[in-house]
Structure 1
Amino acid sequence: MQQQRPAPRLRLALEQIGAWVLDQPAAPPLNGQCCDRLRPKQIQRELLQSLETSGLEITALVEWRWDAQQGHAKGWLWQAGALQRFRWMRHSGQLTLHEQLRCINTAPLHALR
């Protein structure tokens, strides 16, 4: 079976499109940025499930990033009056927490008479 070659005009158009595509700059890596492209929904669901099953009290994600090259998520979470830095390894489920700031509720100040 003989392969047909494209018409000369079509061939020229395909060559120009190919040259244009190859001439475009590559997208910069997303390392270090904080955007939704670095926080995929599936990863977020798995992370929230892991936080829930780890036995932690009520937690809230403050900010987090997904590193696809390292296979981990890291960021900040709020748990039981403390702001904590966390790192979660997706494949092993390992979660490490480092307390950064603890907030304590105290009675309001009373003026002395």
Structure 2
Amino acid sequence: MQQQRPAPRLKSAMEQLGAWVLDQPEPTALEGQCCDRLRPNQIQRELLESLKRSGLDGSSLVDWRWDARQGHAKGWLWQAGTLQRFRWWRQSGQLTLHEQLNCTTTAPLQALR
């Protein structure tokens, strides 16, 4: 059986396609909520337990990210009208909070017309 060679135009198109594929940039690293493996369920459970032990059980996680190399989670926490930046070290259980925004209401909210 004789092997057929691709038509010249097809061969040229295939070479251009190969060059295009090799020329594409590498995908960027996944961060934040882009990928659940950056926020494993076991880490989240331990983080929530640590918040509860720290007296922050009425708070809610706004966003957080796990850094496996550093062994800590960091993100944003909402509690009683205050948005706080936090960092939590899994090994020691140490939790640091930095208040970023304090929201209070002095009058009922009204819709703008």
Instruction: Give the TM-score band, short-chain normalised.
Output: 0.5 to 0.7
The Cα shift of 1:56 comes to 2.2
Structure 2 counterpart of 1:47: 47
- Identical positions, percent: 72
In structure 2, list runs of 5 or more residues that go unmatched.
1-26
In structure 2, relative to structure 1, the CA distance for the partners of 1:103 and 1:55 (3 Å cut) is same
Structure 1 counterpart of 2:71: 71
The Cα shift of 1:105 comes to 1.7
Give a deviation string over 1:24-56, Cα, whole Å, max 9, x none: xxx9754x4432110000000000000001012
Report the secondary structure of 1:50's partner residue.
helix
- 8 Å Cα contact 1:57/1:79 also seen in 2: no
Give the TM-score of the pair, scaled to structure 2: 0.66
In structure 2, relative to structure 1, the CA distance for the partners of 1:38 and 1:105 (3 Å cut) is same
Matches within 5 A, 1:88-99: 88-99=88-99
Report the secondary structure of 1:58's partner residue.
coil
1:58 matched to 2:63: no
In structure 2, relative to structure 1, the CA distance for the partners of 1:97 and 1:108 (3 Å cut) is same
Structure 2 counterpart of 1:7: none
Structure 1 counterpart of 2:101: 101
RMSD of the alignment, in Å?
A: 2.4
Give the TM-score of the pair, scaled to structure 1: 0.66
Give the letter aligned to residue 102 of structure 1: N
Distance in 2 (CA, whole Å) between partners of 1:38 and 1:47 is 14
Structure 2 counterpart of 1:8: none
1:80 matched to 2:83: no
Give a deviation string over 1:70-93, Cα, whole Å, max 9, x none: 000000010111000000000000
